[in-house]
Amino acid sequence: METATKTIHIFVEIDRHKQKKVEFDSEQVTGQQIKTAAGVPLDNDLARRQGQKLELVTNDQTITIKNGEHFVSLPPGTIS
């Protein structure tokens, strides 16, 4: 029995006019892995977009991602 690898696509908004689609083979990723895949500085803030709210994701925090989720990269210290 083969185990199918499911690719998960997420979107990272790099600035107001640019977003990057990134792919992962696992639904468990760290903030640092997302930033690296999107090509954003590791010292930037990263947040998961939850409707109108933003939820901070730290570099060493492991989160579960879902296909089609949106994240935002912002200058350091923007999200408290």
Total domains in the fold of the chain: 1
Per the structure, the complete domain to which residue 35 belongs is given by 1-11+29-80
User: Does 71 have pLDDT greater than 70?
Assistant: yes
Assess if residue 53 is contained within a domain: yes
Assess if residue 62 is contained within a domain: yes
Assess if residue 20 is contained within a domain: no
Assess if residue 57 is contained within a domain: yes
Under DSSP, the state recorded for 34 is H
User: Does 35 have pLDDT greater than 70?
Assistant: yes
Q: Indicate the SS3 state at residue 77.
A: coil
User: Does 2 have pLDDT greater than 70?
Assistant: no
Assess if residue 16 is contained within a domain: no
pLDDT in tens, 3-30: 556 899 999 999 889 999 999 999 999 9
Assess if residue 18 is contained within a domain: no
pLDDT in tens, 46-64: 999 998 899 999 999 999 9
The burial of 22, by beta-carbon neighbours within 10 Å (0-12 exposed, 13-18 middle, 19 or more buried), is given as buried
pLDDT given for residue 3 in this prediction:
52
